[in-house]
Amino acid sequence: MNPLIEQPHARSTCTDLAIVGNGAVAMSIAIEHRRRVPDARIAVIGPERRPGSASLAAGIMLASHSEIEATTFRHAAGRAKFDLIRAAVADWPGWLDVLAAIAGLEPPKIRAGTVILDNPNVSGFDPPNFDAILDALRRDGSDHELVDPADIRGYRPTPHLRATRGVRVPSDGAIDAFAVMELLDEAAAALGIERIDGRAASVRDGIVHCDRGRVVHAERIVVAAGAASDGLLRGIPELDGRVPRILHGTGVGLRCRATPGLTTPDEVLRTPNRGAGLGVYHVPFGSDRFYLGATNVVSVEPREHARLGSLHLVLQSAMDEISSELRHAECRMVTGHRPIGADGFPLLGRTSVPGLWIATGTRRDGVTAAPEIARRFVNELLGMDDGLPACLSPERRPITVLDRDQGIDVAVRSRLIGPGSSTGVSAGRLEDEVRRQVVRLYDRAGLDVGVPAELLDLYADGRLDASRLVASTNVD
């Protein structure tokens, strides 16, 4: 047993910094703080096996440019998030070396390079988002190379679902989630960070009450419990209505092993993002292992189990769009809850409640962003420059990036993903019908502005409050 994990006799702990949650974001902040202030007492609270952790279920693509969408730079928050992630992708090799040196381990290897495929036969998002990625690569002077999808090793999609364009981005890559989380655990142990195996039940007035009666008193508390942060924050009356809700974006991925004779792609292959947090990707790690992802079903409460439809979607999309040969691989399903802010943007920084900080809402990018979030978060905790972007501060009105018509258009395209659904005469009739449904949902929700497509049903069902949304003044 790890001596730093739970001492049953100690029912009460006093500490300088209590971090609630033990995913990639929480662990990175704890480690970064301890490195910078070696005598700080830090406790990380979270169940040792990390049920529902998004970090453990992730791919993990370390991606900045490949995540760009046509709307990314419409708002200062989109630019701030991109800058954060881009810096993080550059940080990763050094971050791994630092963690490995602390832990006395070999650093896990980053699989460098990502090919983004444009598949207009499947999704109306692909061409505009692919163009936005190309524009940003050119504008930023980032290394990239246009490729003919036919030349990609192991790429064997269903013939009529072959991508029309591809671009290789050497700086975007991937890493194995299990290796990353193990390294974070070992580094935290080597630094003497206290671990409390359990869940926080409430956070109030500098005290974290945990299940099994454990109490932690802390000068500062960071709520970084991923999607579960919502329940804790809603128990703090001073924050009532001041912080956007955090939803559970339940995602299914498959960790796979190639069987002998099976040729699989040896670099990350992925589509651009397809609205509603969707898209298909293949992530190789090790010599014969790979990951297929991922789905996104958003709910207010956690769903313990994934849906059959999610599993079906991952399998079908991967075999249709990456390689039909993948059916020979062995696989194991992983499920995690992405923490999704009600406006789709991260919530990072201090609150108006003295000593209370929040680090969550990272949606699709939290593991990638973790080293840079940690660096800037600790800068702020220590009162130093180069802190977190003010527009991502947790106490805010939900950010709106799209007007109502744009929001409707994105929702329509999100519901039309699938082979042949965006081309031809019957596709036109289908689109009209879907558009009518989406407009009805917008009307039922009373929405005058656009919302992330994956959250529309929650607004229409009254689970999210549309009255707090105002048209943004901060659109480029």
Ligand X SMILES: Cc1cc2nc3c(=O)[nH]c(=O)nc-3n(C[C@H](O)[C@H](O)[C@H](O)COP(=O)(O)OP(=O)(O)OC[C@H]3O[C@@H](n4cnc5c(N)ncnc54)[C@H](O)[C@@H]3O)c2cc1C
Residues that bind ligand X (CB under 6 A): 20-26, 45-47, 50-55, 57-61, 199-200, 224-226, 228, 251, 253, 293-294, 336-339, 360, 362-368
Phi, psi of 260 (to 5 degrees): -55, 135
Shortest separation between residue 350's beta carbon and ligand X, angstroms: 17
C-beta closer to ligand X: residue 275 or 336: 336
C-beta closer to ligand X: residue 244 or 251: 251
Q: For residue 54, how many other CB atoms are within 10 A of its CB?
A: 28
C-beta closer to ligand X: residue 231 or 418: 231
C-beta closer to ligand X: residue 367 or 456: 367
Rounded to 5 degrees, what angle do the CA atoms 305, 306, 310 make? 170
Shortest separation between residue 442's beta carbon and ligand X, angstroms: 27
Shortest separation between residue 423's beta carbon and ligand X, angstroms: 29
**Which residues contact residue 423 at a Cβ distance below 8 angstroms, ignoring those fewer than 6 apart?**
120, 121
C-beta closer to ligand X: residue 26 or 438: 26
C-beta closer to ligand X: residue 334 or 408: 334
Shortest separation between residue 159's beta carbon and ligand X, angstroms: 28
Q: For residue 33, give the nearest of 360, 355, 384, 377 by alpha carbon.
A: 377
C-beta closer to ligand X: residue 62 or 132: 62
C-beta closer to ligand X: residue 367 or 469: 367
Report the C-alpha gap between 93 and 78 in whole angstroms: 25
Read out DSSP for 406-420? HHHHHHHHHHT-STT
Say if residues 416 and 425 touch (Cβ distance below 8 Å). no
Shortest separation between residue 460's beta carbon and ligand X, angstroms: 24
Q: For residue 188, give the nearest of 12, 92, 46 by alpha carbon.
A: 46
Secondary structure letter of residue 121 according to DSSP: T
Shortest separation between residue 367's beta carbon and ligand X, angstroms: 4
The SS3 call for residue 402 is: coil
C-beta closer to ligand X: residue 361 or 398: 361
Shortest separation between residue 404's beta carbon and ligand X, angstroms: 28
**Which two three-digit tokens encode residue 71?**
């709307």
Tell me the residue type at 15.
T
Shortest separation between residue 320's beta carbon and ligand X, angstroms: 19
C-beta closer to ligand X: residue 120 or 231: 231
Shortest separation between residue 305's beta carbon and ligand X, angstroms: 14
CA distance to 70, 90, 410, per residue, from 87 (Å): 20, 5, 28
Label residue 287 exposed, middle or buried (CB < 10 Å: 0-12, 13-18, 19+). exposed
Q: Which helix (H) or strand (E) holds 167?
A: strand 165-174
Q: For residue 161, give the nearest of 121, 117, 116 by alpha carbon.
A: 121
The neighbouring-strand residues paired with 30 are none
Say if residues 330 and 285 touch (Cβ distance below 8 Å). no
Shortest separation between residue 56's beta carbon and ligand X, angstroms: 7
Report the C-alpha gap between 431 and 436 in whole angstroms: 9
